[in-house]
Copies of this chain bind each other. A is one copy, B any other.
Amino acid sequence: MEEIKDTEKQILNAAKEIFLQKGFDGARMQDIADKAGINKAMLHYYFRSKDRLFESVFRELTSNIFPKLFQSLMSEMPFEEKLKSIVNNYMDFLVINPDLPLFVFREINSNPERIANILKDVVKIDDFKNQLKGNVDNAISESGLENIDATQVVLTLLGACIFPAIAKNLIKIVFKMTEDDYVDLMIKRKEQLPKILINGLKK
């Protein structure tokens, strides 16, 4: 474990909040300093520049969940079991971190280079495509899945989990939900998704 100075940690936490909500372009160094309750110069003292601070934040936010998710997708478990485990773990994660996916997609879109650069040491995607294909093709033959592309399976699975997180604020407006309502929705979804997905993807 790296020893992280108290101030440094405060900055990182404040920066996480601001970057998550406002994105790189919308985030203001002064706002981050204010939220951390310290002088703006400290941001540069500890992290040098907005870019570097952002990079640290992005790394902290993704370096756990990204590899974990990729690993889960590649694991050799039987398909149905694997799917259930991913849905469970990932939905729990999303209830706690509802704005991470939108953050990631937003940044990829508005500044692909910056993110591609960071991503390549956060996660090894070198041969993800082929490994995944092999892995899902097996599942198809073993457990009577509809013969569809591995990519489609992954998109269906991830979309079913992630979309409600991305759309969180719109959902709350359109369906007039409180925060509690939303959490409820996600918990119920966690229970219902495996069946929906398995039935949907089966032959």
Contacts and interface: CB of A to CB of B under 8 A. Distances in A.
Interface of A: 21-26, 99, 102, 104-106, 108-112, 116, 119, 125, 128-129, 146, 148-149, 151-152, 155-156, 158-160, 162-164, 166-167, 169-171, 173-176, 185, 188-189, 192, 195-197, 199-202
B108 A176 contact: no
Contacts of A197: 200
Contacts of A22: 25, 110
Given A22-B25, A25-B23, A199-B199, A105 B170 contact: yes
B109 A99 contact: yes
18 contacts: A22-B110, A23-B25, A23-B106, A102-B106, A105-B170, A106-B109, A119-B173, A128-B174, A128-B175, A146-B192, A149-B185, A152-B188, A158-B163, A159-B160, A159-B162, A159-B163, A166-B166, A199-B200
A145 to B, nearest CB: 11
Nearest to A20: B109
Contact of A162 (B23, B104, B125, B163): B163
Tell me the interface secondary structure of chain A in the complex: helix
B164 A159 contact: yes
B110 A26 contact: yes
Contacts of A99: 109
Given A26-B25, A125-B174, A163-B162, A146 B102 contact: no
Given A151-B185, A196-B200, A196-B201, 7 more contacts: A23-B26, A26-B110, A102-B109, A105-B166, A155-B171, A162-B163, A163-B166
Contact of A109 (B21, B159, B171): B21
